[in-house]
Structures are given as C-alpha cells and as structure tokens.
Amino acid sequence: MNSASLAREHSDPTWQRAIILLSGTVTAFVVVVALWWGRPVLVPIALAGLLTFLLNPVVRIVRRWGVPHVWSVLLAVSITGGILAVTGAMVMRQIVSVLAEIPQNTANIRSKVKSLRELSSGPLVESFVHLVDEVSQEFARPVGPKAPGPDTTTATPQAGLEMVRLQLPSTRWDGVPGYLGSFLDVLATLAFSLVLLVFFLLGRDDLRDRIVMLAGGSRLTLTSKALEDIAHRVGRYIAVVALLNGGFGILMMAGLLALQIPYALLWGFLSGTLRFIPYVGPWVGALFPILMSLSTFDGWWIPTLVLGYVLILELISNNIVEPLVLGQSTGVSPTALIVSAAFWLFLWGPVGLVLSAPFAVCLVVIGRNIPQLRFLQLLLGDAPALRAHVGLYQRLMLGDAAEAAAILLDRTKSSSMTEVCDELLIPALNCLRRDVRRGQLTALDQETVLDGLEGALLKNDVRRQASAASLENLPSNPLEPSPPPSFQALRIRILGYPALDDIDRVGLETLRQALDPELWEWESGSVDTLASELAARMATDPPDIVCIGALPPGGLSRARYLCKRLRDAAPNLTIIVGRWGLSREIPMETERLEQAGAGFIATTMTDTIRVLESRRLLLIHREAKAALPAPLRVAAAVQ
C-alpha cells in the first residue's frame, strides 16, 4: 500500500464527518424554517396529535363495550369538542367581565400601594429612592447642545401658519376587527384540529403500519415494538399530566370559590392550563387569583389566605402527588425543558409554549427507542452523560479536585469501599493509564490527576477515621463476649508494591482504604525501590503477604519480573498480583504470572479482598497452632 492510499484512507473519515455535520446543520435549518412558515398547518396537526394520545385509551375502552370503531371515535371527539366549547365560552365570558371591572377596583389597589409605601417609609428607603430618581434624571438629560445648522429632518412651519392636529373620537368598536380576527383564527385552528383528530384516531393503525414499512420490512419487529413503546410512554405521560393539571385547576377553583374570590372558574382554568409550561407556568397561574384578591377585598387577610392556599397546593402537588404518579423524573433535564419552552415559544407562540414539555418528552422517548436518533436522548435526557468513573476522571483531569472529592465522598455514603474501588476509582486510573500510553496527557496532567485523586482519598480516609473514632467512644455492651486476646491483637502484615509508576501506587492506596486497619498492618512500597532491594528485604524481613499493583494496560512484564525475584528470595511468600481493571481474566496472562511465581491474580478489588481474607484465616490458624504446647501440636497434626 503506497503513501497516497494511506493518506486517502486517513482523510476519508474526516471528510465524512464534515459532510455529516454540514448535512445535519442544513437539515436543522430547513426544519426550523419549515416549522416557522408552516405554523398555520403544523399547529393544528400538533394539537391533534396531542389529543390523539389523550383520547386513544378512551376509544379503546368504548370499543370494548361493543361500540363500532367509527362511532367510538365520533363519540370521544364530540364529547371533547363539547367540553372545549363550553369551557372556552365560559372562560371568554369571564375574561370580558374581568376586563370591564378592572377600572372599578383601582381604589383597593391604590390603598394597598399606599400602605406598602407607608410600611417602607424610612430614611434609608427615602435616600435610596432619591438616588434612583437622580440617576434616572441624569440618564434622561440630553448629552449636549444641539449643533447649529440647517435641520433637514423636520419641516419648519412657515410664519403666520399654525399647525393643527386632528384626532378622531374613539369608540368601543375600534378594536373589534382585530379581536374578531384573532378569535376566528383560534376557532379555525381548533376546528381543524378536531377534524384531524377524527382522522388520526380512525387511521391510527394504518399510520403505524406505513411508518413501519418506511423503516424497512427487515426491521418489522424492532420498529413495531419501538413505536408501541413510544405511543405507550408518551400517551401515558400526556394523559397523567393532563389529569394532574386538570385536577389542580379544579382544586384551585374550589378553594377560590370557598374564599369567595370572583371569577374562580377563570383562575382555575388558567392555573391548570399554565401548568403545562415548565417551572414558570404554575407561578404565573397563581399570580392571577392573588392579584384579584388584592384588588377586590379590603385589607390583607383574604390575599394572605389565597397565597397560603396556593402554596399548600403547590407543595402537595410537587412533593407528594407528582412523584407518586409520574415518578421521580419525566426523563427530560430541566435545562432541556427551559430550552424547549423558549424554542417553541419563539416558533409557535403561546401554543408552542404549552406543547413544549410534551414535545421534549416525545423526543427523549424516540431517542431512547430508535438507535439512529440516540443523540436526542443524550441531549435532552436527564440521565448522566458520562459514566461515574469517566466523570470523576474528567474532573481530575481539569483540576477540579474539590468536585472530584465530593463525588468520591458522596459515593462512599451509599456503597462500600470495595464497590467504590471497582466501579469508580480503579476505572478512573485505567483511563489515566490508557491516555498516558497514547500520549494524550503530559507529565503535568498525570501529576494533576494523581494529586487530585490522592487528595480525595485523603479526605475519605480522614472521614473514615473520624467515624471509627466516634464508634469507639460508644459504650460497649457488657454482655457481648470479647474475642481472645491473642486473636484480637493479631494483625497481618501486608506490603503493597507498585509495579510501574505512581498510577499503580495510587491503586494500592485504594486497596489500603478498603482494608480494616484493625486487622491489617499495611506498608506502602516506593516506586523508587529497586527490585534487588525488595528481594533483599524479603530474605531478611519478609511480610506475610506481598501485593503487587499492576494496573492495565501494560505492566505485565514488570509484574512477572518482580514475581520471579520475590519468589527466588522467599519461596514461601504469598504473592498477589492485582491486575485491576481487566474486563476478564486472560488465560495466557494468568499462566505467565503463575509461572513467574505469583500465587494469586486478581482482576477486581472484590477478588483481592476475598483472597486476602482467606489467607488471613489461614495465617491465623497457623499462628494459633504454633501457640499450642508441643503435645497438642502433635495431636493437631495427627488429626
């Protein structure tokens, strides 16, 4: 293969990615423009689709009663249209009455404002208001004198002529054409949506079959299951949210009626409808009845009751009802909900704002079920984008040691240290070793990651020691038998030695924290210690167990060399090689390490702890046998 073909092979993926990116950008732009210009048609289609998810379960229930499909659809749509028409007429009537009564309630509003001003009167407030007035006047003052010269922008009236401005008297019918046109547009949109709703409900199965065939006959099963899951999840979410918001609006109306707040139906309708708007909608809906109580009633007692009632409803709905019915989350991140609300508000106005949350949920469910659209779930979903160990490694790589320590401490509260090592710390060290071998990190970057991780481990160790000290200070149970003194004082000596570098040293530090200091006497070996020095030490003062840390990738040859030197120096020494982070044991690698003298090879921290516990029991048994008198030792040996 020549150099030209190699260059072409390496350049093709770059061009392909560039073409895909350009195509995606152009497609997104075309879709946004189409959504903008197609509002008169797309808004009714979206409303009809939303109502289809709501009414499809109702149609199925009616069909189970023996009603034909066509009549069940017509019955459901007729009832829905009648409810919408009656509710809309009542709401519009109350809106007209509220607008007519606004001038009559100005006296109460002025008295409330006056009382607030009297309450806030004081030298500090007055000085602040005076400062604001001075700054406002300074901004309103012209910048400088106008330069003399001919003014060509305005016409100067001639001498002896007087300019007269004519103003026609306004009547109550001046704005009727505009309001009438808006009302007719809304009415036409709703009527078109109901017509589309009928056809969507009638042809639901046919539409599903056509979409399945568009995806290809070879993927019939996968596409059918995906569409059914999408319809079920989205339909359930929309139905539950509609019931929750409708129930909230009914409770709001009932409470306002009990408090004798005028136009309770209107405020309940607005409270339930605005709850479709994420985060902002509930508080905007609660603002209207509070303002009405302020403008209608004298004093502050009734407005305070209204505010308290609204807060109680919100707390019960947000903290009890919605978590029980919807679960802990809708599957959409808060940022995605806000961005979706802003996007659809810009495109389709108030209707888009109401539909923004259901649209976001639909996109997340579609991205979860269709592999080609998985990026939608990544962008809009509330699941973590990075796995736990990747997130920890990223924080350490960026130098955010405080956040990394918080992640570690938070994980240790819900998991054991062994699980934290296997699921969080060791995979992060594997990522570091992999990036270092690829040359993607400098020596300074490696030092930053290791220093941050050692700092997080130090904080966890301090917290663990403080917790152990607090447990020791608790009064002991006098009835609980204490272990024999010989077994209570016995601690197994273990030496942890890194095979290659500081990455292995930090991996051994995670093992040390996973061990009970009351049972193990840990000694950390240095990276600078030579193999010959370590072997000489084994010949004179060997520990009970030696654990060699060799995190993959790499380190196998160095681990084999150390095993040979240690086995030659101490034939009876227990040697454990920690190849932590391997997805599975490699038979060839295990065989080579065992031939070099390794007694045990562990790929997880859990396996390492299990091996250490078994060896500890064996050493305790040997120690206890050695402590027996000679005749008893002989009898134990015979048995």
Residue-wise pLDDT for 341-372, tens only, equals 889 888 888 788 878 888 888 888 888 877 77
CA distance 334 to 382: 8
Q: What are the two backbone dihedrals, phi and then psi, of residue 600, each rounded to the nearest 5 degrees?
A: -140, 145
- Asked, for residue 174, whether it belongs to a domain, the answer is no
- CA-CA-CA-CA torsion sign (501, 502, 508, 512): positive
- Asked, for residue 135, whether it belongs to a domain, the answer is no
Q: What is the dihedral of CA 298, 304, 306, 307, to 10 degrees?
A: 140
Radius of gyration of the chain from its Cα atoms, rounded to whole angstroms: 38
Are 376 and 421 found together in one domain?
no
Return the pLDDT at 169: 55
Question: Beta strands 574-578 and 600-602: pairing type?
Answer: parallel
What average pLDDT does this structure show over 46-60? 85
- Asked, for residue 210, whether it belongs to a domain, the answer is yes
Are 197 and 210 found together in one domain?
no
- Asked, for residue 212, whether it belongs to a domain, the answer is yes
Burial (CB < 10 A; 0-12, 13-18, 19+), residue 261, is buried
Return the pLDDT at 349: 83
Q: Which of 265, 381, 278 is nearest to 322 (CA)?
A: 278
pTM of the predicted structure, to 2 decimals: 0.66
Are 376 and 507 found together in one domain?
no
The SS3 call for residue 571 is coil
More confident residue, 366 or 632: 366
Q: Over the stretch 411-428, which tens digit does the pLDDT of each residue have?
A: 988 888 999 999 999 999
Q: Over the stretch 182-214, which tens digit does the pLDDT of each residue have?
A: 667 777 887 888 888 888 888 888 887 887 777
DSSP states along 63-92:
HHTT--HHHHHHHHHHHHHHHHHHHHHHHH
Question: 421: domain range?
Answer: 388-467
Are 528 and 595 found together in one domain?
yes
Q: Over the stretch 229-267, which tens digit does the pLDDT of each residue have?
A: 777 777 787 888 888 888 999 999 999 999 888 888 888
Are 244 and 367 found together in one domain?
yes
Q: Which of 243, 245, 277 is nearest to 58 (CA)?
A: 243
Are 347 and 420 found together in one domain?
no
The mean pLDDT of the chain is 79
β partners of residue 557: none
Which range has highest mean pLDDT (18-32, 355-369, 378-392, 595-609)? 595-609
Q: Which region among 328-332, 584-588, 610-614 has the lowest average model confidence (pLDDT)?
A: 328-332
Could you tell me if 269 and 258 are in contact, meaning their C-beta atoms sit under 8 angstroms apart?
Answer: no
Tell me the residue length of the chain.
639
User: Which of 171, 202, 233 is the last residue before a domain boundary?
Assistant: 202
Q: How many CB atoms lie within 10 A of CB 312?
A: 11
Return the pLDDT at 97: 82
Q: Over the stretch 453-473, which tens digit does the pLDDT of each residue have?
A: 999 999 888 887 777 666 555
Phi-psi region of 439 (alpha: psi -120 to 50; beta: other; left: phi over 0): left
Are 195 and 341 found together in one domain?
no
Are 190 and 229 found together in one domain?
no
Are 335 and 399 found together in one domain?
no
CA distance 196 to 210: 18
Return the pLDDT at 80: 83
What average pLDDT does this structure show over 486-492? 62
Return the pLDDT at 471: 57
Could you tell me if 266 and 95 are in contact, meaning their C-beta atoms sit under 8 angstroms apart?
Answer: yes
CATH number of residue 416's parent domain: 1.10.1240.10
- Asked, for residue 53, whether it belongs to a domain, the answer is yes
Give the H/E segment covering residue 523.
strand 520-524
